[in-house]
Structures are given as structure tokens and as C-alpha cells.
Structure 1
């Protein structure tokens, strides 16, 4: 996949089917839209492209509260690439772009630079000055300029319209167990392990610490059942998000204890997948009380992981049995006439 991060970088793009949107989180609705663009490109012998912005357009509005991201740009790019996309245009949303009238946006960017032959967007896609552009504008211009437009209706799961805003709300409120339903994967935080105060090791529960990025949406303080992905292996773990109020005043961070793991990870890259929140972070009267609670947290997390492992085992057995049954010959079809 070829990635363009500045508008002026775009050179010699081949005619493309282009998915348009912000795509933060690349949730299941986004994935469906992008997949349709990829499918169209293959059918029409075009390239597939995703056009998005590296910052949220609302961040440029006067007095607007900064929108926190769900994914880092490299994570976003990896997921989009996995969908079979040829080009990713992930450029800054600037005042110049914000003030372009919708027709100029289509002509100067989508047609002259991206050579768009088919546009794919959601029902609520907006572009151009004062967000005056919408799917109807795209369709009208497309009639004259020879490109088609596919407008995807609201994508619903369990009655809820899937959106990046919904997922941010779930993460920020600690409902991390719901994220996989809408994203197709667990919510996760990744980064390089930093040196902490080493109290966990002294208590018998060594942790791998990650610094919280203030530009990213993060779950509220508390204890979570997690997986820790390191070097291609996924380990059961338990994670505390918070400020460590029992032992002092610290900035918010992520501390993960990996079960049955004794390697030092300082300076290494890890990814922490959040499965379920078990309790809020609280201040204990002393370290002994904190240590006793950590034991209970670990026991609860291990039980949850054991439950997940059993569910996975049963699902694998069911799938294997179904495959075996499907492969068996039909007695009625193969019985010889007697």
C-alpha cells in the first residue's frame, strides 16, 4: 500500500475507487465501506484508495474541544492495508481545505489528484466549506464528471448506529468489553515499556508500564482483564489504569502484570488488549491492603481468562465437528439401489 501524508506528495495516482471518511477506529462500518471500494476497484480494473485526514476536522473549529483519537496513524494504516487497499491518503485537515467550496474540493482534490472514478461514503459524509458538501453533491457532480457514487446507509449492530463517537464513549466510560462487537477487535493501547517505581516487583507482581498519550482516548481509572501482546505472542494479563493513589501522586499510566511471565520488558514494544473492567481504582490505607487487593484482582482476572479459554476450546470443537459432518457423504445419495 502506498501512503501519502501531504497533498503535494500525490503524484501519478492511477484511476481509483475511493473510500471517503475520517475512519478513526476503522470500525466494522468503516471496514464494510472500504471493502466495497476494494471490490469495486477489482471489478472495474481500478486501484482502491482511502482518503482521510490525520487530524479530526472538528479540531479546527473555533473553541472546539479536541477530539481524541482511537488509533495512532500507523495502527490505522495497518488495518486499512489489511483490507487490500492500494493507496492511503492520510493528510492534514487544514484551513485551506476547510474553506474550499464543495465543488472545488471534488475537482481539485478528488478528481485532479486522486483521479477518482468511484466514490464510496457514509450517509453522513460532509465536506467543503461549512460542511456544505454531502452525498447528493457528489452524485450531481458525478453525473457531469463521469464518476459513480455509493452511499452506505447507517450501519447498525444490536440496534446501534456504529460510529467512532460511540466507540470513544464506550472506551471513556470503561465499557471496553463492548468494543469488539463494533470494531471487530479488542480496544488496545500500545507503546514502549517505561521504567516505573518498581513497587509491583517488590510486592511480587512485576508490571510493564506504558505512558498515557493525552491525544488518545483512554479508559477510566480502574482494573481490567487484559491480554498483553509481545513479540507476536498473546499473554493473559491484568492491568491497572490510573494514578496509583495509595503510594503517591503520579500521572495516569497503564501498568500490566503478565501471568506466568518473568522476562524484563523495559524498552520493548507491547500492546495491551482490554477485555473487561473489574473495578474502579481506589486509595487503600496502606501497601499491605493494596497487596491483598492485587491478589484478589489477579485471581478474578485468571478466572476470566480460564472462562475465555474454555469458550474458545468449545467453539473449536464445535467447528471441527461441523466441518467433519459437512465432509461426510450423504447416505441417501450414496446408497446403491437394491
Structure 2
């Protein structure tokens, strides 16, 4: 670790000046969601960096490889790029590479990736990856190749045992499935925290305000969220405590919407949140997104959703108090 307290350095390109001329410890992965398994791997790398007195460099990709190769509808994302960067900073990254995943990278031999990124840009002394990590043209690179090349290039390759929960390996795909199934408690256990989506509030069509339910809106920049429907939520970044709310996440079929939009209605809140960065924590799924015949029918359902969300959040608050006092 640098220990300087300076802001981590972010880079996007494979080529460029040396970022860690004195050497670094590098951790590589897609890290979608930054779940318990990701956290364990990055913390192990961070500890190694601290012991060596070197900066921790974390490499990921944007778009994610699975997004780049997808045909048709994009696969769902657990965390947006900025949220990932913020999470990596919290885990101790000194240098963060969100490498542009494009046709040139898919055509690159794995040995070339090692030479240009790990050796030239980062002067890697240790490389930490998951056991199923693959990279380079036709996914020909793997941990064994890293060990072979590193033996002569001056870096060692390391990993950790799989992180297990209830007999299952913790993985991003398990979390995505839990979210699809509405199992938010399971997703939270796999993540080590409640599932949440962060972003900057943007202006919408103001329809919610006209209907008596003003919302704080978050867009996804072409990414596909990992869940949809109507939820009891808490909004962080507005007051001293998380603000109770009801949220809709989907394409708004009743008003012929197309792109995914997260709309959070904060109960009994007055004020303008436009431009504010907030985080919406998902507590419980209330129902699927529906298409209504008219706005009047939709508003009637919104009333019921708001009542349901208040009830769920009240029960959750009571349960939390009982847990903390026991």
C-alpha cells in the first residue's frame, strides 16, 4: 500500500507510462458485485501489498467480457462502473485499471497482455487471481500460464480457496439468480451487505410528481440491471439515516418506456435531489412490474405499493432493533 492518503489512480488503457515503477501487487477479475469471494481475494492481495510496502493495483474490465460477447440482450450487471471503483477504493486499491474490453483485447495473446500490462505498466511482483480466471485470445491464458511466465519475469502468482456459504461457492451468478428470484436476504448474505444501486439523480418526465408520487430517478447508461419490479427500499445519501421509500425498477410499460429506470419515491420527503448521488438499498420485493390499462389504475396500485412498503420497512426496523438489543 502507498499509505500516502492520496486518491487512487484510475486508468483505462493497456499502453501508457509505467504506473508503478517500483513494483506492485496486482489483483485481476471482473469483480461484478464485489461479493464475499471478491472481497477475500482483494483483501489477500492488499495484505501482500502491505507486507511488501508496494501499491495494490486492481484490474477489471469495462465493458465486462460477458457483456462484450453477448448477442442480443445484454446480461445483467450487479454493479455499475463507478460503484465498482468506489468499492475497490474501499478495499484498499491504490491503482485501478478499468481496461477497455474491445476487439483488440480479445485478439491479444495472453503473453502479450502479461508483457504490456502486468510487466510494463504495473511492474508486477505478485499477481492474485481466482482459480477460474481466463484471459487473452480465446481465453488461452490461465493461472498456470501466469506462473510459468512469472517465473522468468519476476512475479509470483497466487489465489485463495473458494469462499463458501451454506455449502455453495459464492459467485456473481448465484447473486444474480437470487435477485431474479426476489431472495434479497440470500443476495445480501452472498454480498456481505444489502444489495443496493448507486447513481446520480437525473430529471425524468416529472410524471410521478403529477401523480402525487415524485421520484428520484437513476439511469443505467446502457447497462442492464440485475433485477426488476417494485420494492420496499431505503435511500442512502439524503439524510442522517437511510430514508424509507418505495421504488420501481423497470421499463415503465404503462407509459411506453424503453430503457431501464430506477424510480425511488421517498416517503414524506420534501426537496430537490437532482444531481445528488444516492444509493438505493433493496429491502424486499413487493411485486413484478405490470402494464396498466390507464394511469388511474396505475395510481391505485401505487397507493397499495406504498402502503405495503411502509409496512415491510416498519417490520424490518422492528426486527433490526430486536436483533441489536438481544
Task: Tell me the TM-score normalized by structure 2.
Answer: 0.85
Residue in 1 aligned with 2:234? Answer: 227
Residue in 2 aligned with 1:304? Answer: 312
Q: Deviations over 1:173-214 (max 9, x none)?
A: 54444322222232324232313343x445443333334543
From 298, 303, 307, the equivalent of 1:295 is 303
Residue in 2 aligned with 1:107? Answer: 115
Question: Which sections of structure 1, spanning at least 5 residues, go unmatched?
Answer: 319-338
Residue in 2 aligned with 1:321? Answer: none
Residues 1:249 and 2:231 aligned together? no
Task: Tell me the TM-score normalized by structure 1.
Answer: 0.82
Residues 1:129 and 2:129 aligned together? no
Residues 1:153 and 2:161 aligned together? yes
Q: Deviations over 1:193-252 (max 9, x none)?
A: 313343x445443333334543232422x2101112234642010112345455x43334
The equivalences for 1:315-326 within 5 A come to 315-318=323-326
The equivalences for 1:32-51 within 5 A come to 32-51=40-59
What is the RMSD of the two structures over their aligned residues, measured on CA atoms? 2.6
Residue in 2 aligned with 1:169? Answer: 177
Residues 1:94 and 2:95 aligned together? no
Residues 1:80 and 2:67 aligned together? no
The 3 A distance-change label for structure 1 pair 3 and 243 is closer
Q: Distance in 2 between matches of 1:102 and 1:311?
A: 51
Query: Aligned to 2:225, what secondary structure does the other structure show?
Result: coil
Q: Distance in 1 between matches of 2:109 and 2:251?
A: 47
Residue in 2 aligned with 1:275? Answer: 283
Q: Aligned pairs, how many?
A: 315
The 10-residue stretch of structure 1 (275-284 or 167-176) with the greater mean CA deviation from structure 2: 167-176
Q: Is the 8 A contact 2:219 2:262 kept in 1?
A: yes
Question: Which sections of structure 2, spanning at least 5 residues, go unmatched?
Answer: 1-7
Q: Distance in 2 between matches of 1:189 and 1:128?
A: 31
Structure number with greater Rg is: 1
The 3 A distance-change label for structure 1 pair 129 and 258 is same
Give the structure, 1 or 2, with the largest relative contact order (CA under 8 Å, sep 6 or more): 2
Query: Aligned to 2:236, what secondary structure does the other structure show?
Result: strand
Q: Distance in 2 between matches of 1:88 and 1:24?
A: 15
Q: Is the 8 A contact 1:242 1:281 kept in 2?
A: yes
